[in-house]
Chains A and B, each alone.
Chain A
Amino acid sequence: MQTIVVPGEKLSDSIIRIQNSTVINGKTYSTIVGLFSSDKNTLIPLEGLWHPAYGDTVIGIIEEYRLNSYVVNLNSPYKGILITKYVQDQLKKGDLIEASVKELDKTKTVVLMRSRRLTGGKIISITPSKVPRVLGKGNNMINEIEQSTKSSILIGHNGVIWLKGGDMKLATDAIFRIQEEAHTSGLTDRIKGMLTSGS
């Protein structure tokens, strides 16, 4: 059973090591607004920013060109750095790219690799903590949307989503609905119903 917890709410009388929690005097407390399930010991944030991690896929916009690197806007407080040497395409300011996180340092400078230029389409941004819900278990949620709307969709862990072709409006509506209702159960069935009635 999942319950909504708020910062400072007691999760357990014993020490449990989960993300977004703090231990005071041997008891565990939440530090965020999230969904806590006591039997599985998981705490999923309902709001929040993207915490960069190695291997994350991101979508960003080239913001600046420097001597040996590009600066990428990642819709987060931290900028991405893309080393020019490893980039095959000729990029210019305003270009949209997909890349993955190569390394991070203590001050959270995000170094990117394996970049790919995205042409056409449009981007939308959602709350980064809802990205796993948009992907679904084994990517089944996003596969469902792609099949029904015939548009190709790329999801960045930083909360930026790129769509191209097909029924983009329906896909966008579905993604925003998932964001809004991410904490409810039976969401996959409702989205399926929405996609079949909409198309």
Chain B
Amino acid sequence: MGSTQDKPQLMINGKRLDGRGPADLRSIKIEPNVVKNAAGSAYIEWGKNKIIAAVHGPKEALPKHFADPERAIIKCRYMMAPFSSLEEHGRTGPNRRSIEISKVTKEVFENVVMLELFPNTEIDIFVEVLQGDGGTRAAGITAAAVAMALSGIPMTDIPYAVSAGKIGDTVVLDMDKLEDNYSDADMPVAVKPLDNEILLLQMDGSFTKEQLKQAISMITDAGKAIREVQEKAIRKPYEQIIEKYQK
């Protein structure tokens, strides 16, 4: 939330500052297998966001008292690079914000990954933000889901995440940094597309009941496009090799 006094006009004639309508997403591009030493990895460009996600493991859980004899544990590290944004991210190491986002990302994956198959092990998720422009946690979860699928760890579904917000009284989707700072509400949501189960919901500001319902339905509609990009990225390395020999 920015200052309420000198608020810039974010919607002009139903169009947003970058020319999008209220329900339009920014362009999304996912590149699979960018990190050689990880079990699975993905690089996402979501508007101006540039994020690398990597998954390691399963491996022996350390320290040993963290290990669970019934299931695997997930560790997640979300971090913004010092050069990633105009604001203060100059210090390296975990801060309050990155610890929070690491925790919510971890909880998203605890609900989709079949942890009971790997007792006594840990799975590491790393999300590194190289350039941030609003909605990095949503983009990070979307990329980490692709990395998790590519690592071969069984999961019930590939989750995606996207943020909804409110400019004036209009519900909008996928806000960038400027809209995020001066809007009236911001709500990142992670969804399991199989049954539209909500895995993450955080909210800044306020929605009415009707606006919240509208936001959720806008997110699940837009999710189909995000899911398509994710699937395409997962299939890409295998289809490239098949194409090579189909002459």
Contact = CB atoms under 8 A, between A and B. Distances in A.
- Which of A33, A46, A129, A181 has the most C-beta atoms of chain B within 10 angstroms of its own C-beta? A33
Nearest to A77: B121
Give the secondary structure class of B's interface: mixed
A54 B23 CA distance: 54
B140 interface: no
A32 B155 CA distance: 7
Interface string A3-34: 01011110000000000101010000101110
B245 A184 contact: yes
B241 A33 contact: no
B63 interface: no
A4 B245 contact: no
The A interface is mostly helix, strand or loop, or mixed, namely loop
A47 B114 contact: no
Interface residues of B, number: 35
A48 B153 contact: yes
Nearest to A127: B152
B231 interface: yes
Contacts of A24: 156, 194-195
Contacts of A33: 149-150, 152, 234, 238
Interface in B58-92: 58-60, 69
Interface in A55-86: 77-79
B102 interface: no
B94 interface: no
Interface in A95-121: 106-108
Contact of A184 (B118, B151, B156, B242): B242
Contact of B194 (A29, A107, A108, A186): A29
B149 A6 contact: yes
A24 B156 CA distance: 10
Given A8-B157, A107-B120, A184-B241, A46 B231 contact: no
Interface of A: 4, 6-9, 20, 22, 24, 29, 31-33, 45-49, 51, 77-79, 106-108, 127, 129, 180-181, 183-184, 186, 190
26 contacts: A6-B234, A7-B149, A8-B156, A24-B156, A24-B195, A29-B157, A31-B114, A31-B156, A32-B149, A32-B155, A33-B150, A33-B234, A46-B238, A47-B39, A47-B40, A49-B58, A49-B153, A77-B58, A77-B59, A77-B120, A78-B120, A106-B119, A107-B119, A180-B241, A184-B245, A190-B245
